[in-house]
Amino acid sequence: MSATRLIHPLSEFNAEIPLEEDGLFERIACGIESQGYVILPAALPHPVADSLVRYLSLLEEERFHQARIGRGLEQDRNPFIRRDKIYWMDDAHPGASQWFDWTTRLKLYLNRRLFLGLFSFESHFALYHPGDFYKKHLDAFRGESNRVLTLVTYLNMGWEPGQGGELVVYAPDDGDEISKVVPAFGTMVIFLSEEFPHEVLAADRDRYSVAGWFRINGSINRQIDPPR
Ligand code: OGA
Ligand code: MN
């Protein structure tokens, strides 16, 4: 016979995860489950956002390079499609640990809740100078990529609605505009990478975002999970 429990087993199970984090993860899971995307203003937890800002502030602009389109050997610069500069985050960098810990917990939650089989996560900072844009695109093409879920968040303090730079998200089927997201600090957008076309409109100030992709295991030809 076991002793009388003073703590409900469920609260023991969740002991290491703060309740607000579970609440946020559940809102993300519900959004993905019911509509394939979710937009959450001011949702990125402050300690995670602050650590990203610190990491970003350590990087000189020279470390950013012109973003390319495509994958692997077919990558190409195309200034008519995208003009942002990116920096792939290093998951071994101490400044990135909060971010990667948090995205790992989110990945585990979504796998448990939605059986997505997410395996790895990669992400970059993106810097859009005034006038820079990223035309309407998909992050993954069916059968050609192992990107399942896109996560975008923003690090811009005091963004005014008139300053442009919105992320426009389009519906999978008819291409109708679903939402124009202001890239305000801590706003998060998560969507199925193969389903939702989206674009970044030009802004009149520097615009910082973090874009990341949860991937399924894409090991092929004895090459282990080939890089982006
Ligand atoms: C991308 C992207 C959106 C954003 O990098 O693929 O769509 O708002 N980014 O920065
Ligand atoms: Mn994209």
- Cα(144) to centroid(ligand 2), Å: 15
Give the CATH number of domain 9-215; options: 3.90.1150.10, 1.20.1050.10, 3.40.50.300, 2.60.120.620. Answer: 2.60.120.620
Ligand 1 pocket check for 200: Cβ under 6 Å = yes
Tens of pLDDT, residue by residue over 87-144, are 999 999 999 999 999 999 999 999 999 999 999 999 999 999 999 999 999 999 887 7
CA 221 / ligand 1 centre spacing (Å): 30
- For 153, residues 6+ apart whose C-beta sits below 8 A from its C-beta are 44, 49, 52, 186, 187, 188, 189, 209, 210
Number of the ligand 1 atom closest to the C-alpha atom of 126: 10
pTM of the predicted structure, to 2 decimals: 0.88
Q: Distance between CA atoms of 162 and 166, rounded to whole angstroms?
A: 10
Candidates 227, 218, 59, 84; CA nearest to 152 is 84
Cα 30 to ligand 1 centroid, rounded to whole Å: 22
- The single-letter DSSP state of residue 209 is E
What is the model's pLDDT at position 225? 58
Q: Looking at this protein, which amino acid is placed at residue 72?
A: G
| 188-207 per-position pLDDT tens digit | 999 999 999 999 999 999 99
Strands, DSSP E only, in 6-117? Answer: 37-40, 65-66, 85-88
- Here the tokens at position 52 are 């990203």
The pLDDT confidence band at residue 219, using thresholds 50, 70 and 90, is low
Provide mean pLDDT across the span 158-168. 96
Which pairing describes strands 167-170 and 177-181: parallel, antiparallel, or unpaired? antiparallel
Terminal alpha carbon distance of the chain: 54
Nearest ligand to the CA of 126 is 1
CA–CA gap between residue 215 and residue 3 (Å, rounded): 44
What ligand is nearest to the CA atom of residue 193?
2
Which of the four pLDDT bands, split at 50, 70 and 90, describes residue 6?
Answer: very low
pLDDT of residue 9: 45
Ligand 1 midpoint to CA 16 (Å):
32
Q: Is 36 exposed, middle or buried (0-12, 13-18, 19+ CB in 10 A)?
A: middle
CB-ligand 1 contact for 152 (6 Å cutoff): yes
Among 66, 87, 198, name the best residue to mutate to test ligand 1's pocket (greatest count of ligand atoms within 8 A of Cβ): 198
pLDDT of res. 160: 93
For the chain, percent of residues with pLDDT exceeding 70: 86
- State which ligand 1 atom lies nearest to the alpha carbon of 209: 10
Q: Which residue has a Cα nearest atom 8 of ligand 1? A: 167
* Token code pair at residue 33: 């489950």
